Amino acid sequence: MKHTRILAALTAVVVAGTLGGCNSSGGGPDSASAESASTPASSDLKTAYAQLASLPDWSGAWEPIRFAAPDAAGGPKPPKLTPEYAPQFAAYQEKNRTTPGINFISTVSNCVPPGLPVIMQQPYPIEFLFTPGRVSIITESYSMVRRVYTDGSELPPDPDPTYLGTSVGRWEGDTLIIETTGILPETSPLAGITGHSEKMRVTERVRLIEPDVLEITSTVDDPAVFLEPYTSVARYQRHRDWKVMEYVCAQNNHDSLDEHGNPAFSLERAPGR
């Protein structure tokens, strides 16, 4: 957990300082050996970067455009929820039906990120950065970065919970398979629901279905929330000339709550104005 990680980091600093103190000039055989052991050869690094050319082209910025319809009804299938979470989702659906367009109360009203997987469904672009052993997913929402390790790393058995969790990935042809655990339990696993267990796991399959259309199939598995794993499919449109911008939610944030717990910011204009 965090305390263990901090202790390990401090220990590493102390050890590094001790080794460096053996030679005030920083040179000598010990220093050279440590450097050669920790620094990859230039040729190996060039080869690793050259291998990235074989990956699919996901350059540019990707705008969320729509949810794909996994059934004939024209929309995502409703989730099958446990008795603990079903009333919460039903109330959300009813409020959405009777007051369309309302800005629902959620943690994001106070600039708290929604967490994975909902952050991937925000109405802001994302972009992908390929480097050896890693795919970084940069989301304009909250200026957050997802780090997906593709170097063969395994998911840790007891990860420190974070908003985006800990992710590992692997390539199956042109499809990137991402497994994520360690997502903060107070985040949202689905629009209309807040909270989940520490065992929640998100599996994503990312692939191009058209030259400029990316599809992400997400499956959320948490027996505390869902009676069966819940799958949704989202699509993104490529914009090669777009740039992901800085997003600072607290700046000029008007989405405060009134005395009834509703968003206080209103776009209504007074008559005649």
Closest CA to 179 of 208, 219, 209: 219
Greater pLDDT, 91 or 259: 91
> For residue 225, what pLDDT is reported?
97
Please tell me the predicted confidence (pLDDT) of residue 269.
56
Mean pLDDT across the chain, nearest whole number? 80
In this prediction, residue 103 has a pLDDT band, given cuts at 50, 70 and 90, of low
Is 246 domain-assigned?
no
In the predicted model, is pLDDT for residue 102 greater than 80? no
What percent of the chain shows pLDDT beyond 70? 70
Domain ranges, residue 112: 61-239
Instruction: Give CA–CA dist 97/89, Å, rounded.
Output: 12
Q: Quick check: 81 pLDDT over 60?
A: yes
Residue 270 included in any domain: no
- The 10s digit of each residue's pLDDT in 115-160 is 999 999 888 999 999 999 999 999 999 999 999 999 999 999 999 9
Asked if residue 56 is part of any domain, the answer here is: no
pLDDT value of position 94: 84
Residue 253 lies in a domain: no
Tell me the average pLDDT across 78-89: 94
Helices 2-20, 28-38: crossing angle, 10 deg rounding: 140
200: CATH: 2.40.128.20
How many domains would you assign to the chain?
1
- Is 183 inside a domain boundary? yes
Interval 29-58: pLDDT, tens: 444 443 444 455 778 989 999 999 999 999
Our CA dihedral for 190, 194, 196, 198, rounded to 10 degrees, sits at 110
Residue 15 domain-assigned (yes or no)? no
Residue 77: inside a domain:
yes
What span, in angstroms and rounded, lies between the C-alpha atoms of 125 and 119? 11
Q: What's the per-residue H, E or C state across the chain?
A: CHHHHHHHHHHHHHHHHHHHCCCCCCCHHHHHHHHHHHCCCHHHHHHHHHHHHHCCCCCCEEEEEEECCCCCCCCCCCCCECCCCHHHHHHHHHHHHHCCCCCCCCHHHHCCCCCCCHHHHCCCCEEEEEECCEEEEEECHHHEEEEEECCCCCCCCCCCCECCCEEEEEEECCEEEEEEECECCCCCCECCECCCCCCCEEEEEEEEEECCEEEEEEEEECCCCECCCEEEEEEEEEECCCCCCCCCCCCCCCCCECCCCCECCCCCCCCCC
CB < 8 Å & 24+ apart, contacts of 34-42: none
The C-alpha angle 250, 252, 253, rounded to 5 degrees, equals 55
Inside any domain, residue 198: yes
Confidence grade of residue 267 (pLDDT, cut at 50, 70, 90): low
